[in-house]
Structure 1
């Protein structure tokens, strides 16, 4: 499947593409919201935004794996944050993960999650070859 990352001017600085065009779609995975409150070894990451953000991406990748997908297959994501001041840090972490080809994305500030200690949740759509 071909992917064309539409690159905007200011969007690159915020680590997202305004649009990702796919052709010859074979498999689409609609990912539910994934949090990162607990590390892989069960440690609670309460109050640690960086750790929760990175764990969100690890959890998304673990969900994609059985379908043959990786984070690079994500074409769009919605990021929910409890603190708008963390948007820049999330952008930095996302840049580490995706390089220059970012999924289309939105960041939304919320008042809280079902589990109050959560600081971030990511919902996404992935398209696999």
Structure 2
């Protein structure tokens, strides 16, 4: 039998649909996609891509911490960008939040994201 728990924190945006911020099964945490919403106002933090990327990683960090982990515990990271020309900026911002060894990662260009966001990230963490 697995040990399953829902992770929720007020330090990250509340779910805007029928999902949990994260679900922990044994020592693996599946983090739902985070967009650049301010957790208090539930509005996009900015129209600027770099500021949106910073907020996304702050939101992911808050959910990691609520699960008793950290960004360093992320083993797989999936990134969604509405414009792949922002790829170098994602790498720059990621360097502000992650240190080697980096998680495995995918970066996918998408047509659009919820609430008009420019960037979203989801992750799998092992603690």
TM-score by length of 1: 0.72
Q: For the residues of structure 2 that align with 1:69 and 1:45, how far apart are their CA atoms?
A: 25
Matches within 5 A, 1:90-129: 90-116=90-116, 118-128=117-127
Cα distance in 1 for residues equivalent to 2:110 and 2:73: 26
Q: Which has the higher contact order (CA 8 A, sep 6+)?
A: 1
Tell me how far apart the structure 2 counterparts of residues 48 and 70 of structure 1 sit (CA, whole Å): 26
Structure 1, unpaired ranges of 5+: 1-25
Offset from partner CA, 1:41-60 (integer Å, 9 cap, x none) = 53642311111111111111
Counterpart for residue 21 of structure 1:
none
- Partner Cα distance (1:30, 1:48) in 2: 28
| d(CA) in 1 for partners of 2:49, 2:37 | 9
Unpaired runs of at least 5, structure 2? 1-25
**Matched residue, 1:5:** none
Give the superposed CA RMSD: 1.6
Match of 1:83 in 2: 83
Q: Distance in 1 between matches of 2:110 and 2:62?
A: 25
Secondary structure of the residue aligned to 2:123 is: strand
| 1:63 aligned residue | 63
Q: Write out the 4+ residue segments of structure 1 that deviate beyond 2 Å after TM superposition.
A: 40-46
Corresponding pairs, count? 101
Q: What SS does structure 2 have at the residue aligned with 1:64?
A: helix
TM-score by length of 2: 0.73
